[in-house]
Amino acid sequence: MKTRITELLGIKHPIIQGAMSWVSFPPLVAAVSNAGGLGILGAAFMSPEELRENIRQIKDQTDKPFGVNFMPENPQLDLLLDIIIKEKVPVASYGKGNPHKIIERTRPYGIINMPTMGAVRHAVRAEQDGADAVIVQGTEGGGHTGFVATLVLLPLVASKLKIPVVAAGGIGDGRGMVAALSLGAEGVSMGSRFIVTREAPIPLSIKHYLIQRTEEDTVITDNLTGVRCRVIRNKFAESLLEMTKSKADPWEIMQHGVGKIRKAFVEGDLESGSFACGQVCGLIEDIPTCQELIERIVIEAEEVIGSMGEKFLSPK
């Protein structure tokens, strides 16, 4: 399945693993890339030294393209970009903030810039600033998320941009992939689905916990990290919602959330941790390898495309 995204990124399948803090470490990133997708390192909370070490670990495990995701507002951004450039990372991935400075700094070194956006105007601005492709995430997606559903956001963005568009938010199988392609995407990005794979370096108990969640078990919290964030509903999420309802100071809410993502995915604390996860958790039923998952999605997508003619009969 070739698209402009597979050609741009040098990958076999138009499937990207969304970056997730405390989850998308080298074992998962390399597994996705080795399976023909694009693995992305979640480096939002990494120091420059940790970033360098993680990049080198990925290189030890794969010779395929991969990306690094970071936050543009990081006070050490210049140091992080130095490392990304020196280590010859193929793809730069980021969300909040103005991409212009990052693109201007990395483009001369052949680094592909693929920011994630949750609004049409931001995607248009990214293209104007020189982005090579954009990921657009609908509100169904886990972690940082916007206000508009993928079904509406994706075709709006695809109709306005000339660069390739990747769909994120609510995609977890071949059916979702076909839907995204039909709406103008040239690839899909999945975060939550890759959490529940064998290579994801988190406790097995958490993977089973997420399998047991339904599409109704997530909520959107405000100010956990300064922006809207979709997470699994638990005691911690409820406490955030209560703080917001009582009009607590945003800084107080952010302080309340410090360390909670790590507590969830590293320590496996089901009630006190913050599990960034999308509504797609309702579709997750097993724990495959990344290779098995990607191959399954591609095969299912091809089957769905092939069966479309059988579902819609022409009038006699």
As a whole number, mean pLDDT of residues 165-175 equals 98
Q: Using one digit for the tens of pLDDT, what is the confidence trace for 210-244?
A: 999 999 999 998 765 567 899 999 999 999 888 88
Supply the pLDDT for residue 108.
97
Please give the order of strands across the beta sheet that includes 66-70.
Answer: 39-42, 66-70, 91-94, 112-113
pLDDT over threshold 90, residue 258: no
**Residue from 299, 288, 308 nearest 1 by CA:** 299
Tell me the domains of the chain and their CATH numbers. Answer: 4-202+285-301 (3.20.20.70), 214-276 (no CATH)
Supply the pLDDT for residue 309.
74
Q: What share of the chain is helix, strand, coil (3-state, %, to 5)?
A: 45, 15, 40
Q: Using one digit for the tens of pLDDT, what is the confidence trace for 263-292?
A: 999 988 999 899 999 999 999 999 999 999
Q: Work out the mean pLDDT of the chain and round it to a whole number.
A: 94
The residues near 308 (Cβ < 8 Å, ≥ 6 apart) are: none
Q: Using one digit for the tens of pLDDT, what is the confidence trace for 12-36?
A: 999 999 999 999 999 999 999 999 9
Q: Using one digit for the tens of pLDDT, what is the confidence trace for 84-115?
A: 999 999 999 998 778 899 999 999 999 999 99
d(CA 243, CA 256): 10
Phi-psi region of 11 (alpha: psi -120 to 50; beta: other; left: phi over 0): beta
**Residue from 26, 16, 86, 82 nearest 59 by CA:** 26
Supply the pLDDT for residue 151.
97
